[in-house]
């Protein structure tokens, strides 16, 4: 059996997905990154290996996410792809007529506009936490509620309170004030869901034409309160795919399947899960930008460098 591996490595979660040559999901792993992307990629690889059906051969590996270059070096990726393309391809795989893809992750959020199977526009938030999953995590912790319980209790709200959602600092201050006024926790929770959705649509979605079918993916899609708030704000039914939390990994696995179907893979093998890697960085002084260049090494040998605004270090020969 031939299979293709996709890895989506973000700042909050690390996802791996293994798909068959027919595009069916064979196995998947969902882990917290915990600030250790190398260790989590290796742990994910170990778990995937343990779950492999007999006779499976990895024919290609692709990486995406904020740590896609790092993961690509470790795995020996055949393809390193941006998150927009990966999420769009996965959404089209499960909902071929999708026109809008909403993806809300732990540290960033995206809105992808698709027309006739082609990405024509997108918006992305990478600088403000108020429109991401970390916003909900932080407020749930403040209220002493598990994030798994958050969505269910938010659905019980009948009279949600309006909270300032354009900034996490203002939102927390407003939330404390509403608690002091005696509002029910359920109403505050759903107010937080509505605040996140308002922030998302007013920033990421600004100027974008949202048309149905709309697909909602990413880890935050587990939160039914956010789903309800999105449907109320957009006035349309929203589709949540069955594997919504690993769609980036599935998308890049589908992409690498197209890329590697006719050539050998550069996959390093499952043994890399036992290798010790080191990461360092330095400031490039080739121009006034003074970019911070990251590099990864193994056995004191530099394997790759990346991170500049230009491709100077990507093109540099690594000895």
Six token digits for residue 147:
């994030």
CB 242 within 8 A of CB 219: no
Confidence tier at 315 by pLDDT (50, 70, 90): low
Least confident of 182-186, 209-213, 307-311: 307-311
Burial pattern 203-242, b for ≥16 Cβ within 10 A else e, equals bbbeeeebeebbbbbbbbbbbebbbbbbeeebeeebbebe
More confident residue, 311 or 221: 221
User: Mutual orientation of helices 147-154 and 224-234 as an angle, nearest 10°?
Assistant: 40
What is the rounded average pLDDT for all residues in the chain? 88
pLDDT of residue 318: 58
HSE-up of residue 37 (Cα within 13 Å, Cβ side): 22
For residue 315, count CB atoms less than 10 angstroms from its CB and return exposed for 0-12, middle for 13-18, buried for 19 or more: exposed
Give pTM, 2 decimals: 0.87
**Residue 143 to residue 50: CA distance in whole angstroms:** 38
Least confident of 46-55, 130-139, 175-184, 256-265: 130-139
Q: Are strands 214-217 and 238-239 parallel, antiparallel or unpaired?
A: parallel
> 204: which residues sit within 8 A by CB, 6+ positions away?
109, 110, 111, 123, 124, 125, 131
Report pLDDT digits (tens) over 76-118: 999 999 999 999 999 999 999 999 999 987 777 899 999 999 9
Domains within the chain, CATH numbers bracketed:
2-86+248-274 (3.30.420.40), 96-240 (3.30.420.40), 278-315 (no CATH)
CA-angle at 147, arms to 143 and 152, nearest 5°: 95
CB 114 within 8 A of CB 93: no
Residue 233 has pLDDT above 80, yes or no: yes
**Residue 159 to residue 114: CA distance in whole angstroms:** 35
């Amino acid at each position: 059996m031939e299979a293709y591996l996709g890895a989506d490595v973000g700042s909050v979660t690390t996802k791996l997905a293994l798909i068959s040559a027919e595009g069916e999901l064979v196995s998947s792993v969902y882990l917290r990154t915990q600030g250790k992307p190398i260790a989590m990629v290796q742990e994910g690889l170990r778990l995937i290996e343990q779950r492999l059906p007999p006779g499976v051969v990895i024919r290609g590996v692709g990486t995406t996410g904020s740590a896609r270059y790092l993961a690509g070096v470790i795995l020996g990726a055949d393809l390193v792809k941006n998150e927009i393309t990966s999420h769009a391809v996965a959404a089209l795989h499960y909902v071929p007529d999708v026109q809008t893809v909403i993806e809300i992750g732990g540290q960033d959020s995206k809105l992808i506009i698709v027309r006739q199977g082609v990405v024509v526009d997108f918006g992305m938030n990478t600088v403000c936490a108020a429109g991401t999953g970390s916003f909900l995590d932080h407020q749930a912790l403040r209220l002493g509620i598990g994030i798994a319980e958050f969505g269910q209790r938010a659905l019980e709200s009948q009279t949600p309170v309006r909270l300032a959602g354009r900034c996490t600092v203002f939102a927390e201050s407003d939330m404390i004030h509403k608690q002091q006024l005696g509002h029910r926790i359920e109403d505050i929770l759903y107010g937080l869901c509505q605040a996140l959705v308002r922030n998302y649509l007013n920033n990421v979605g600004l100027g974008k034409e949202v048309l149905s079918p709309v697909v909602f993916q990413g880890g935050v899609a587990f939160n039914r309160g956010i789903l309800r708030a999105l449907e109320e704000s957009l006035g349309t039914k929203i589709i949540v795919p069955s594997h919504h939390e690993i769609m980036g990994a599935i998308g890049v696995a589908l992409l690498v399947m197209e890329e590697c179907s006719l050539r050998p893979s550069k996959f390093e093998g499952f043994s890399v899960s036992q290798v010790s890697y080191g990461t360092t960085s330095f400031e490039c002084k080739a121009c006034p930008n003074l970019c911070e260049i990251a590099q990864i090494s193994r056995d004191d040998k530099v394997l790759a460098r990346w991170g500049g605004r230009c491709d100077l270090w990507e093109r540099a020969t690594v000895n």
